[in-house]
Amino acid sequence: MSMTPAHIWLVIVLVALGTWLIRFSFLGLIGGRQLPPWLLRHLRYTPVAVLPGLVAPLVLWPEATGGAPDPARLLAAGATVAVGAITRNVPAAILAGAGTLFVMLRLAG
């Protein structure tokens, strides 16, 4: 890992500034202008468009196993999504995933 403190701080500052600007964007405009519907329609899907792609390689090719697919991690990922989708409860989904991983790794020895 070649993360230098200066690089990490630069990322923190830029993400913080950018995030605040996104949050302030329309609150900052006087008169409360509305976003065009086509833009709103795309923005609605940002979290669900970014997060699954971000985790997909981590789930399929975990670094801890040298990139080889690992049944314990695959099952844990499946349990997390399933419990999250059914209960709509984030902490419950985290517990389900962590619990599955813990049990599976124990079983695998």
Positions 75 through 94 that interact with another protein (CB under 8 A): 76-77, 80-91, 93-94
Residue 67 and residue 61 in contact, taking contact as beta carbons nearer than 8 Å: yes
Minimum distance, C-beta of residue 69 to another protein, in the bound complex (Å): 12
3-state secondary structure of 32: coil
41 is a contact residue toward another protein (CB under 8 A): yes
The C-alpha atoms of residue 85 and residue 35 are separated, in whole angstroms, by 29
* CB nearer another protein, residue 32 or residue 68: 32
Q: Is 69 in the site for another protein (CB under 8 A)?
A: no
Residue 93 to residue 98: CA distance in whole angstroms: 9
Instruction: Confirm or reject binding of residue 5 to another protein (CB under 8 A).
Output: yes
